[in-house]
Amino acid sequence: MAESASRDAGGAPVELLGDYLPLLADAATSGRTPDPAELEAVGLLGRRAAELGVSAGTAVQLYLSAARRLWQQLPVVIRSRDNEAVRAAAAAVLRVVDDAVASLAEGYTEGRRQMVRWEETLRHEFIEDLLRGDADVGRLVERAEPFGLDMARPHQVALAAPTGRLDDTTPALSSLEHAIVARVGDRDVLVATKDGWIVVVAPADADLPGPRSASHTLGDLMLAELRRSPRGQPWRVSVGRPYPGSYGIARSYEEAREGLTMAVRLHLDTPVIRAEHLLIYRVLLRDQPAIADLVHSMLGRLVHSRGGAEPLLATLDAYFATGCVITETARRLHLSVRAVTYRLDRIKTLTGHDPTDPAQRFAINAAVLGARLLGWPENDLH
């Protein structure tokens, strides 16, 4: 009967029935109901089914098929009794089926829940080690296989951060993962969260399917999907350059993380930041004592202005960002042209450097960028 029920359920393992059939037979012949220990054993079989990858529907089908086949094979002495005896036997069997299937389903659910928690733990630990880049490479390659990552291929890491407060990233994470998998496939793609950011590990842009264009990149795909989120708000996406190997993923992640940090410091309004566009800023930061000296010598005296250095520094920032067009600078700062002209003259008077002079413009612009990168004047240059 157990083997027949297994065939009915598509080949479900016979071991999942345990002592279920004897329990049914006892109920039919004596009316005995299972004790708590016996039902707990059925619950353990449900957990075992989850561990074996048997679906909940298949496990329930196995139990129902076994009950049906046992009822058909009851001894003639049971089936030939009067109607009342048959009804009592049927009621006892159905009660066992009801209790056993309930315990089976409960055990299955708990088993799946534990497996999900365990898989999430493994996933979290793998992502932490992958992005940190200091784990054992051989072991990391082995751990990457279940997630479908081919560490020999070039991968890039992209980070998405909300520009405002977002209490729950789960809806955005789910929709983003679905969109990326639909475009790239479920191989060589990993989507997770870290430090409040959404992290995407994907093949290099050159490996993405579809026509090559300026907008056909991982960063643009992520931004477009995040903007469609039902709880969407302004997002900033930073994309590192692609590199091969496990260390390459960690390196790309650091570039993407550095991109988000620089975007905040430099007040960039670009929604998609690419690492290659920030190389000049990395050059500036490579020798921090030198850039601090430049900021101090070129802009240090702005602190003696009546309103402090920040308004004048913001004016320089907008002036250079608009291509040194005073009218556009005034519009961006919500000031009059006369007010902007006055501020530029004030900067020249305080520092001795004229931002409107093309010969001095490069050095002053570099100093402004250095000030933003170092967080001056909020942070002491020393």
pLDDT at 79: 55
Residue ranges of the chain with pLDDT lower than 50?
A: 77, 214
Domains delineated in the chain: 2-116 (no CATH), 149-281 (3.30.70.260), 287-374 (1.10.10.2840)
B/e letters for 256-272, b = 16+ CB within 10 Å, e = fewer, are bbbbbebbeebebeebb
Q: What is the pLDDT of residues 149-203, one digit of tens each?
A: 888 888 999 999 887 665 566 677 778 888 888 877 767 788 888 888 889 998 8
3-state DSSP call for residue 162? strand
3-state DSSP call for residue 289? helix
- Sequence-separated contacts (24+) of 343-349 with Cβ below 8 Å: 343/311, 343/312, 343/315, 344/315, 344/319, 346/305, 346/312, 347/302, 347/312, 347/315, 347/316
Distance, in Å, from the CA atom of 51 to the CA atom of 71, rounded to the nearest integer, reads 30
pLDDT at 77: 45
**5 backbone dihedrals φ, ψ, rounded to 5°:** -65, -35
Residue carrying structure tokens 């570099």 = 366
**10 backbone dihedrals φ, ψ, rounded to 5°:** 75, 25
Cα dist. 162→90, 169, 270, 305 in Å? 61, 9, 13, 35
3-state DSSP call for residue 21? helix
- Measured torsion, CA atoms of residues 272, 277, 278, 281, in degrees rounded to the nearest 10: -140
- From the DSSP assignment, how many helices (H) and strands (E) are in the chain? 16, 6
Structural tokens at position 197 = 């950011």
Distance, in Å, from the CA atom of 217 to the CA atom of 219, rounded to the nearest integer, reads 5
pLDDT at 207: 53
pLDDT at 116: 82
Q: What is the pTM of this model?
A: 0.64
